[in-house]
Structure 1
Amino acid sequence: MHFWKWFGLQGKLWATGGGYSVYEAKPSWQSVVSGTPGRRLLPDISFDAAQSTGALIYNYGQLQQIGGTSLASPIFVGLWARLQTANSNSLGFPAASFYSAISSTPSLVHDVKSGNNGYGGYGYKAATGWDYPTGWGSLDIAKLSAYIKSNGFAH
């Protein structure tokens, strides 16, 4: 898997965000990610953000292709709402549960193992497992749903 790129800070080529918070402490559920600073790590998971591979929608009567957070956020919210409904609204905070579940069952995601989110020495490199540009990677929704049915999700 590869991820999209755009021109950002000082004309440098960038893509996803990623990194760690300068304000928030690392929550206990992120302790499964070793070798990182004691700060809140970002992102947790990834979704397709490229406009070129995004969704076709009608906007003001015009067919338009969208991507980025404008696509990824509604997809995740809809996915999580369906999982909540299928599990009697008993699922807890998703990020905390993802770290536990994915660290023990890596097949729940499509791990992005190569590429980077920067250019010319800027940004982070993707790697096996959790990384700064992609978090755990993108969810395998069918496997996640089956996992939750079998194992539950922490509250």
Structure 2
Amino acid sequence: MRYSYEFKRKAIELFYRGEWPETPNEVLTYTFHERIRCWAKQEDLHGLDINKLYVVKKNWHPEDKYELVYQVLSGETIHSVAIAAGINSGLLYQWINKYKTSGYNRLINKTNGRPSKDSNMRVTKNILLRQLNESEYEKLICLRA
């Protein structure tokens, strides 16, 4: 469930006063309270803007991912490393599984989907439009005849 920035700010303010906001219907109370604690910790570490919804995703480099994975494998908890990095613990868990199953190369970002047709068409057009020398041109005329 997505929460607005204003809702998060009000929930954090109530948390610091020792109160809890009303729990949404679809969410367990314990899970909701844990989420508010997480928002408060992230805000303390990274500032007020960390809890805003961003449309543009951060592009993580494989070295940065590996550093976070290494911290978890060396004994820190997934939750604490995720809060310190300002990411969701589920994302960090995925990176750890990828690293354990396929190694460092799996942490490298790959483009998804099918390659565009335009790039292939440009290559074939360039091959067809190249200049022919005299002997190739003569062979082509003979073949066409």
Q: TM-score range by the shorter chain?
A: under 0.3
The structure richer in strand per residue is: 1
Higher relative contact order (CA 8 A, sep 6+): 1
> Which structure has the larger Rg over C-alpha atoms?
2
The structure richer in helix per residue is: 2
Q: Scaled by the length of structure 1, what TM-score is found?
A: 0.23
